[in-house]
């Protein structure tokens, strides 16, 4: 397979990093194509935990090439920090290439992200505070500063124009101090030196490598329910986590995609605000949070937990057309006497069809559950799918039959060897 795209089908944190690390040996190149440092992808190797935010989760394989393509918004300070931190534990990393077309997340974007959240008050979105909304606004409204601008003789002029508007917003609306163009220029010139050895036109690089028979693994960030087109708007992110985003964010044509893998968690989680019909605000939800260590990889915030929501996942899935699914964190459900899976919604005692467009309406939907028997056994020592408890296998088959996409792998722990293949 030359191009495989892996995407999350929930509200993020499905275990994508872990699955990328598992699949990476079969590919030459691993690529991030969307999002920014709002992503937090965890990989655990021999008991050592690595958290990737901007770097692709294939970085731990020194013989691979990892690419940050132009669809990613890049925070210079975070990149420098992350590389240093990963290198401290593992000096020998993959070769890294970065697109010179990436938009830069500047300190003012992060400042505005926090100020806008505070401005929203009770209606806040619960963003990661990584400047994602503001930087994509600038990208789409054609005001952004890209890595290639750092080498332009017009850099200072571009910064001055950019800051003229930003400073007006900071000072007039938020009563904050303005940003000095020369000091931002200085910071950016320091970063320009650091990043220069990594820069290429990643679209051309990937297309050339494909022509020479290379295989590429595309690592989606976030999850389809956070997509601003089909997700739970406005409680979404500002980039697209969908498989189709590969074409825009990495320059791979839709016809060049050979395989799409969707990642789903055995239950639902969400970090930040927004509708969550199957949320469990009780000891079962708390148990999932503790057993599944459901705390944000980027922000440390406790993740909200709830039952698997088939209608929502089906909605997200249909727009990604995955060939197969990876089911993660099945081990977390061990010990529950009964499991519930949402198979539809009721509103005012009547069944509803589809997914309401309004977040507040989705929030009021009452899930209709299918109850299934749970299992007591811990799963982490199991190495063959057929050795799973009968009720766990029944649970997998139930999800599969509703979603009509084969579940080809089941993850029962964060470590490399804790993946069962069908």
Q: By CB under 6 A, which span of 10-18, 80-88, 333-341, 364-372 interacts with ligand GDP?
A: 10-18
Structure token pair of residue 272: 């930040």
Structure token pair of residue 246: 């590969």
Q: Exposure of 253 by Cβ count < 10 A (0-12 exposed, 13-18 middle, 19+ buried)?
A: exposed
42 binds ligand GDP (CB under 6 A): yes
Query: Which member of 271, 305, 339, 341 binds ligand IMO (CB under 6 A)?
Result: 271
Sign of CA pseudo-dihedral 334, 339, 343, 344 = negative
Q: Exposure of 37 by Cβ count < 10 A (0-12 exposed, 13-18 middle, 19+ buried)?
A: buried
Contact string 9-48 vs ligand IMO (x = CB under 6 A): --xxx------------------------xxxx-------
Q: Give strand pairing partners of 66.
A: 30, 96
Query: Which member of 57, 65, 99, 128 binds ligand IMO (CB under 6 A)?
Result: 128
12 binds ligand GDP (CB under 6 A): yes
Which whole-number Å values give the CA distances from 74 to 83, 186, 271, in the listed order?
A: 13, 17, 22
Annotated catalytic residue within 28, 41, 53, 70: 41
Count of CB atoms within 10 A of residue 166's CB? 22
Instruction: Print the SS3 string covering 20-50.
Output: HHHHHHHCCEEEECCCCCCCCEEEEECCEEE
CB of 203 or CB of 393, closer to ligand GDP: 393
CB of 110 or CB of 329, closer to ligand GDP: 329
Is residue 67 a contact partner of residue 32, using CB atoms and an 8 Å limit? yes
Annotated catalytic residue within 13, 21, 100, 149: 13
CB of 86 or CB of 368, closer to ligand IMO: 86
56 binds ligand GDP (CB under 6 A): no
Known active-site residue 41: yes
CA atoms of 343 and 368, how far apart (whole Å): 6
Known active-site residue 28: no
Q: Which residues lie near ligand IMO (CB under 6 A)?
A: 8, 11-13, 38-41, 125-128, 130, 132-133, 221-223, 226, 235, 237-238, 271-272, 297
Q: Catalytic residue numbers? A: 13, 41
Q: Which residues lie near ligand GDP (CB under 6 A)?
A: 8, 12-18, 40-42, 44, 292-293, 297, 328-329, 331-332, 411-414
């Amino acid at each position: 397979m030359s191009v495989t795209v892996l995407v999350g089908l929930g509200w993020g944190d499905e275990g994508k990093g872990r699955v990328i690390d598992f699949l990476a040996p079969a590919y030459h190149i691993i690529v991030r194509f969307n999002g920014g440092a709002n992503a937090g992808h965890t990989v655990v190797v021999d008991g050592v935990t690595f958290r990737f935010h901007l770097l692709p989760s294939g970085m731990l394989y020194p013989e691979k090439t990892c690419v940050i393509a132009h669809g990613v918004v890049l925070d210079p300070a975070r990149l420098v920090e992350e590389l240093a931190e990963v290198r401290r534990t593992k000096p020998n990393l993959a070769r890294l290439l970065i697109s010179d077309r990436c938009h830069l997340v500047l300190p003012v974007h992060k400042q505005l992200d926090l100020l806008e959240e505070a401005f929203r008050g009770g209606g806040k979105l619960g963003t990661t505070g990584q400047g994602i909304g503001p930087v994509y606004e600038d990208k789409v409204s054609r005001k952004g500063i890209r890595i290639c601008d750092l080498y332009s003789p017009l850099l200072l002029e571009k910064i001055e124009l950019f800051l003229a508007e930003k400073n007006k917003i900071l000072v007039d609306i938020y009563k904050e101090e303005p940003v000095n163009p020369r000091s931002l220029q200085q910071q950016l010139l320091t970063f320009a030196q650091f990043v220069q050895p990594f820069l290429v036109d990643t679209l051309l690089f990937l297309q050339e490598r494909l022509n020479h028979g290379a295989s590429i693994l595309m690592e989606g960030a976030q999850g389809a329910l956070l997509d601003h087109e089909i997700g739970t708007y406005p409680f979404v992110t500002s980039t697209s986590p969908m498989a189709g985003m590969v074409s825009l964010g990495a320059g791979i044509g839709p016809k060049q995609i050979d395989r799409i893998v969707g990642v789903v968690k055995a239950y639902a989680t969400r970090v930040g605000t927004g509708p969550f019909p199957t949320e469990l605000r009780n000891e079962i939800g708390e148990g999932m949070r503790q057993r599944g260590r459901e705390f944000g990889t980027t922000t440390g915030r406790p993740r909200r937990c709830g039952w698997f929501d088939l209608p929502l996942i089906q909605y997200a899935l249909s727009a990604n057309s995955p060939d197969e699914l990876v089911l993660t964190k099945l081990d977390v459900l061990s010990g529950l006497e009964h499991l519930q899976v949402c198979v539809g919604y009721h509103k005012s005692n009547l069944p509803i069809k589809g997914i309401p467009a309004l977040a507040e309406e989705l929030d009021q939907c009452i899930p209709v559950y299918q109850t299934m028997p749970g299992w007591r056994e811990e799963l982490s020592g199991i190495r063959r799918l057929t050795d799973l408890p009968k009720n766990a296998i029944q649970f997998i088959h139930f999800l599969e039959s509703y979603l009509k996409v084969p579940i080809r792998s089941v993850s029962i722990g964060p470590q490399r060897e804790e993946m069962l293949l069908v």
